[in-house]
Amino acid sequence: MRTEEFEELVRDAVIEHADRAPDPEATVRRVLRVRRRRPVLVAASALVVVTLVVGALAWRAAGGARTSVDLAAPPGRGWAVSWGLAWLPSGFVEDNRSVTVDGRTVSRNWVSGEARLSLRVSVVDGTETDHVEPGSDDQVDVNGRPGLRDGDDTRAKVVWFHDATTRFEVLASHLERPRDVVVRVARSVVPQPQDPLVVAAEFGTLPAGAGPVALGVGRTSAGPSTFLTAVLPGDGFLDVELTPAKPDLDGERVLVLGVPGTYSKEKGTLTVPANGRWLEVYAEGEISLPDLVAVAETVRIAPADARWAE
C-alpha cells in the first residue's frame, strides 16, 4: 500500500516533535503520505535477537496454541471528508485517507504507478496568510481565489484559502508537467461529502522522544487497512498497520504477546498475526527491536471499515 510521495504536513501538528530532529523539513514531509517501506537501523544487540528467537522456538516446541494476537481497540473517532476532486488524470485511484492527530488536517491521496496526487484540507485559526507579491510568477488563480504555487519538473503544490479558517493544498509528484497538473487539479476541488473517516487506533508504548502525528485508512489488494504514524527523534518515523493483505513472512521468529511473529532486519519490519489480520510495525531511524516489540504489544487498533477502500 505504501509508496513514497511528495507531501508536507501542517507544522502545528508535529512541531513539538519535528523541531527535535536535525532536519525538521525532512521529518514533516514524511507524514500523511503513501509510504514506501525502507530499511531501519535497529540498535538491538545480537544477544537480544537470539533470546527472542530462541524463546519463540521453545514456545512453539512446547505446543503453545495461540496463533494470533488479540489487540484491544479504542472507540472509533470520525472526521468529516467533505471535499474531493472533479477531475483527475487518467489512471489514478484513491490510495488512502488520513488525518493529523489533532484533527486539523484531513488528507486524501491518489496514485497511478509512481505518480501521486493529494488533497489536504486544514482548519486554521484565521490569522494565517500566504504572502504572494502581486504579479508574482508563483501566484495562480484558483476559481477566483489567489493561490501560491511552488515546485519544479518533478513535484509541485498549490496552497490557497477557501475562507478565513479553511486552507486547501493540492500536491502532485512523479507525473508529467506537475506544475500545470497541480493547478488544474486545484481548480477542480469541489464539495464532495463522503462517509466520515473513522479510525479506531492509538499508540500505547512509544520510544522515548517519539510522538504520534497521523492515522488513517488505506487501500490494499485484500481490502482496507488501518494505520498510525509517529515521528522518532533524529529525523525518523514509525508506522503501524493492521492489514488484511498477507505480507512476506521471511525473517527471524520473535514473540509478540506470546504469539510467534516475524522480524525482517532487511525490511525493518516486525509482523505478527493479529485480530484476524496482520499487524506490521516498521520504521526509518534508529530504534531497537525490543522497542518495536513494545509498540506491537501495546498498540490499540481495530480493522478498518471503509467502502471506498474495498
Check whether residue 222 and residue 187 sit in a common domain.
no
Question: Do 61 and 204 sit in the same domain of this protein?
Answer: yes
In a domain, 295, yes or no: yes
**What pLDDT, on the 0 to 100 scale, is given for residue 25?**
43
In terms of Cα–Cα distance, which of 124, 300, 133 is closest to 200? 300
pLDDT of the residue at 20: 41
Same domain, 52 and 105: no
| Nearest-angstrom CA–CA distance, 97 and 107 | 6
Burial class (CB in 10 A: 0-12, 13-18, 19+), 131: exposed
Residue 56 falls within a domain, yes or no?
Answer: yes
Task: Tell whether 218 and 185 lie within a shared domain.
Answer: no
Q: Given this model, what pLDDT does residue 138 score? A: 87
The CATH number that applies at residue 255 is 2.60.120
Give domain status of residue 230, yes or no: yes
- pLDDT tens per residue across all 310 residues of the chain: 343 332 344 333 444 444 444 444 444 444 444 444 433 334 433 333 333 343 443 444 444 557 999 999 999 999 999 999 999 999 999 999 999 999 999 999 999 999 999 999 999 987 765 555 555 668 999 999 999 999 999 999 999 999 999 999 999 999 999 999 999 999 999 999 999 999 999 999 999 999 999 999 999 999 999 999 999 998 899 999 999 999 989 899 999 999 999 999 888 899 999 999 999 999 988 889 999 999 999 999 999 999 999 9
Do residues 186 and 217 share a domain?
no
Closest CA to 89 of 115, 53, 127, 59: 115
Instruction: Provide the pLDDT for residue 141.
Output: 95
Place of cell 488484511: 244
Q: Which of 165, 191, 217 is the last residue of a domain?
A: 191
The answer to whether residue 279 sits within a structural domain is: yes
- Residue 48's alpha-carbon distances to 42, 45, 55, 258, in angstroms, are 11, 5, 11, 16
Q: Is residue 5 part of a domain?
A: no
Say yes or no: 186 and 215 in one domain.
no
Q: For cell 493540492, what's the residue?
A: 170
CA angle (55 as vertex; 54, 56 as ends), nearest 5:
90
Are 245 and 220 contacting, i.e. CB atoms less than 8 angstroms apart?
yes
**What Å distances lie between residue 191 and 82, 186, 217, 223, CA to CA?**
6, 13, 21, 26
Same domain, 67 and 149: no
Spatial contact of 237 and 13, defined as CB atoms under 8 Å apart: no
CB atoms within 10 A of CB 151: 17
Q: Which of 136, 164, 191 is the last residue in one of the domains?
A: 191
CATH of the domain at 99: 3.30.200.100
Q: Of the candidates 160, 191, 222, which is a domain's last residue?
A: 191
Nearest CA to 192 out of 108, 85, 281, 119 is that of 85
| Amino acid identity for residue 298 in this structure | T
Residues facing 156 on adjacent strands: 151, 172
Tally of domains in the chain: 2
CA distance 83 to 201: 24
Residue 118 falls within a domain, yes or no?
yes
Residues 181, 272 within the same domain: no
Determine, yes or no, domain membership for 213: yes
Secondary structure letter of residue 251 according to DSSP: S
Residues 233 and 276 in one domain: yes
The domain in which residue 86 lies consists of: 79-191
* Residue 256, strand partner residues: 259
Judge if 211 and 301 occupy the same domain.
Answer: yes
Q: Which pLDDT value is given to residue 48?
A: 34
